[in-house]
């Protein structure tokens, strides 16, 4: 009410002044609000830019940390390396180390090309560790506790195949050295077996001297057997000669002289009664037949008896037994320095 009354009392000029002042105040207020709003917007944009910058920095640092951790699993940097498949893991790398790197930096599902490389590198380290473990187990089948436990060539070849797949030089050398010891043991056994085989062949195959001795023994044996056979035949012939043949004037202890043939005038032979021989002091009037010749004793054969031979090796020696077995005998009798194989 008072305000209206005051306005009524004002002159027209005074009213115009008041209106002008009001407009000015309103305009100043409008411009001030806009400036404030613009300032707040600028501040927000600055904050956002700062956050984005910080995020980018964090991302860059995460990428650096990731690549550092993954590269540290290998002998040299593997990320963005064209020979990544040939790079070996570090010496004495532990599976726990790879496990931690995988838990922190491996992403199961991703379309990011860089992240895929990270994943592949971590898996590469895991696979190399698995291969070393596989090779160790294969080697332990033939070499364990610092000694050779098996010389089966099949197991050795299988272990070597697994060792050859290892990329880390140190791990590969350690296992290869163990296999080398196994190989040396195999070669040693093969050499011993070869020597035993040669000795067996040497025992089964007579030396030239032994063969000559055996041949001489065989010849002596054959000669002795032939001599015995000849003596037997000789004795048989003599016995047949001394044994009267039936109807051929057997000797009975009485000698009957034969009548001589005479030729008479008629040209025919006539039997003339025999004239008794003069009794030269013999009583009984019967002549004494000549005494038969004594049967000669058989000639003693040279060498061992039939069926016996001079042993090519000392009696009871392994060489003699080997010789007997090689010639199809299972044993022998021995006497007077001779043997009779059977």
Secondary structure class of 269 (helix, strand, coil): strand
C-alpha pair distances (Å), 207 with each of 7, 212, 215, 288, 341: 157, 8, 12, 67, 20
b/e per residue, 261-276, with b = 16+ CB within 10 A?
Answer: eeeeeeeeeeeeeeee
What is the dihedral sign for C-alpha 235, 240, 244, 246? positive
Going by C-beta distance under 8 Å and a sequence separation of 6 or more, which residues neighbour residue 106?
Answer: 118, 119, 122
136 vs 166: CA distance, rounded Å: 11
298 vs 234: CA distance, rounded Å: 8
DSSP classification of residue 309: B
182 vs 160: CA distance, rounded Å: 11
Tokens coding 106: 């491996």
* E strand or H helix that includes residue 241: helix 208-242
57 vs 38: CA distance, rounded Å: 28
152 vs 161: CA distance, rounded Å: 15
Q: What is the pLDDT, as a whole number, of residue 1?
A: 52
Question: If you write DSSP's letter for every residue of 314-326 in order, what string do you get?
Answer: -TT-HHHHHHHHH
| Per-10-residue mean pLDDT, the chain, length 342 | 56 64 64 78 86 89 96 96 95 97 95 96 97 98 95 95 97 97 93 89 69 54 50 49 42 43 44 46 52 59 78 85 82 84 86
Alpha helix stretches (DSSP H) within 72-112: 95-105
Contact 224, 298 (CB under 8 A): no
Contact 319, 203 (CB under 8 A): yes
31 vs 114: CA distance, rounded Å: 51
- φ/ψ of 290, rounded to 5, equals -65, 140
């Amino acid at each position: 009410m008072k305000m209206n009354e005051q306005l009524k009392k004002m002159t027209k000029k005074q009213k115009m002044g008041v209106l002008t002042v009001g407009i000015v105040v309103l305009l100043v207020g409008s411009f001030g609000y806009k400036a404030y709003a613009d300032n707040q917007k600028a501040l927000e944009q600055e904050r956002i830019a700062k956050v984005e910058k910080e995020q980018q920095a964090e991302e860059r640092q995460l990428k650096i940390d990731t690549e550092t951790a993954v590269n540290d699993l290998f002998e040299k940097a593997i990320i963005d390396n064209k020979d990544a498949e040939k790079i070996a893991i570090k010496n004495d790398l532990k599976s726990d180390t790879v496990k931690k790197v995988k838990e922190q930096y491996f992403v199961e599902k991703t379309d990011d090309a860089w992240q895929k490389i990270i994943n592949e590198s971590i898996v590469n380290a895991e696979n190399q560790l698995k291969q070393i473990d596989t090779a160790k187990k294969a080697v332990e089948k033939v070499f364990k506790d610092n000694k050779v436990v098996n010389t089966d060539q099949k197991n050795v070849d299988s272990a070597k195949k697994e060792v050859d797949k290892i990329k880390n030089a140190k791990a590969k050398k350690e296992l290869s050295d163990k296999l080398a010891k196994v190989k040396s043991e195999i070669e040693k056994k093969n050499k011993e077996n070869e020597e035993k085989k040669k000795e067996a062949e040497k025992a089964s195959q007579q030396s030239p001297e032994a063969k000559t001795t055996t041949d001489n023994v065989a010849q002596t044996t054959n000669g002795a057997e032939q001599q015995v056979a000849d003596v037997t035949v000789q004795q048989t012939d003599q016995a047949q000669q001394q044994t009267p043949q039936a109807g051929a004037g057997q000797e009975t202890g009485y000698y009957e002289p034969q009548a001589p043939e005479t030729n008479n005038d008629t040209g025919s032979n006539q039997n003339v009664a025999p004239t008794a021989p003069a009794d030269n002091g013999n009583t009984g009037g019967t002549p004494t037949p000549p005494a038969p010749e004594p049967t000669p004793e058989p000639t003693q054969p040279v060498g061992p008896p039939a069926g016996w031979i001079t042993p090519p090796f000392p009696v009871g020696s392994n060489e003699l037994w080997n010789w007997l077995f090689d010639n199809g005998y299972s044993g022998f009798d021995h006497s007077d320095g001779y043997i009779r194989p059977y």
